[in-house]
Amino acid sequence: MLEQLYFAMEVFLNGLMAGVLYALVALGFVLIFKASGIFNYAQGVMALFSALTLVGIMDGQVPFSHIINATFGTDIHHFGWHVPALFAIFGTVIVMVLFAWIVQRYIFRHLVGQEPIILFMATIGLAYFLEGVGDLMWGSEIKKLDVGLPQGINDTIDQVTYEMFGYGFFIDNLDIVATVVAVLLVIGLVIFAQYSKEGRAMRAVADDHQAALSVGVSLNFIWIMVWSVAGFVALVAGIMWGTKSGVQFSLSLIALKALPVLMLGGFTSIPGAIVGGLIIGVGEKLFEFFMSSSALAGELFGFTISATENWFAYVLALIFLVFRPQGLFGEKIIERV
């Protein structure tokens, strides 16, 4: 029985780590939603696209090589160089800023003042477009991403816990890194929003467009900035997920896991995205552990079920919607009559 308890604790910790990764994706949603009221369906694809671009730059892949080869009858695929991870990340950031500019200039600038549902539809279009562009640019095969982050079991934790409990905890190094990065990212974002001039302008735009204009804030600039920051957050999420499970197109589906996270945490709260992510991560891991264990659920209910991770988050979000539709940290919806 003690063994089971340790195992549950290990599952709990792993759930926390997985939750951090969900939170990273959810964070990108919150940023854009807060500043411009756009629910950006493309956030997950942005994570995928940034990871693809990062791998592409690192491996010196020629973008659009398939089209180029098909058109000109050439056979080029690689530039033949390898770019160090840090420079490649820098290059990807530039690509994401460029992406932000294009999105703002050619899509959302023309949709200012439209209904939220129209903006949302535009982001769905953007998501599929970007997925297609990613495919054309870098190809659709699964790629390995290695920017030098440590991976595999953390031996120190394994040993220490073994000496303490007689049971070694399996914690992945990458998960620890992801947690540290997420914490730093959130601290950085909060400081940026609260104390910098640009952050102050961003909050002003989020609050009232007209008033922001009247104090000399360019809406266009702020929106490009917000999309750039969201792109950067997507890149961080892309690096973590890509390192964990390879850069593949199913990465964009992780974005869907961010939806229940947001329903729990509230669409407008940065801390909410983090807490929501952790709850979902821990909840689904513990639930899976409990329901699939013959010693627990089997004893209790007489049956076990597995693969609950696929639906647990959504059911939890549904329950939340019934009792607290604004989420844990969201702004309360009060309608004056």
Residues that bind other proteins (CB under 8 A): 191, 195-198, 200-201, 203-204, 206-208, 210-219
CB nearer to other proteins: give 3 or 331. 331
Nearest to other proteins of 1, 110 (CB atom)? 110
> Would you give the DSSP letter of residue 59?
T
Q: How far apart, in whole angstroms, are the C-alpha atoms of residue 178 and residue 158?
A: 18
Half-sphere exposure of 93 (CA within 13 A, CB side): 11
At 240, list the tokens: 């973590």
The least CB distance from residue 188 to other proteins, in Å, is 9
Q: 117 vs 337, which CB is nearer to other proteins?
A: 337
Q: Give the nearer residue to other proteins in terms of CB position, either 191 or 256.
A: 191
- Shortest Å, Cβ 22 to other proteins: 27
Give the shortest CB-268-to-other proteins separation in angstroms: 10
Least separation, in Å, of the C-beta of 109 and other proteins? Answer: 12
Output the smallest distance, CB 218 to other proteins, in A.
5
* CB environment 266-294: b (16+ within 10 A), e (fewer): bbbbbebbbbbbbbbbbbbbbbbbebbbe
Q: Are 279 and 40 contacting, i.e. CB atoms less than 8 angstroms apart?
A: no
Are residues 267 and 26 in contact, defined by beta-carbon separation less than 8 angstroms? no
Least distance (Å) between residue 219 CB and other proteins: 7
Closest approach, Cβ 203 to other proteins, in A, equals 7
Phi, psi at residue 143, to the nearest 5°? -115, 150
In this structure, are residues 316 and 260 in contact, taking their beta carbons and an 8 Å threshold?
yes
CB nearer other proteins, residue 51 or residue 219: 219
CA 141 – CA 241 distance, rounded (Å): 16
Cβ closer to other proteins: 165 or 192? 192
The widest CA-to-CA distance across the chain, in whole angstroms, is 68
CA pair distance 77, 247, nearest whole angstrom: 18
DSSP state of 110: G
Smaller CB distance to other proteins: residue 215 or 337? Answer: 215
Instruction: Tell me the β-bridge partners of 143.
Output: 247
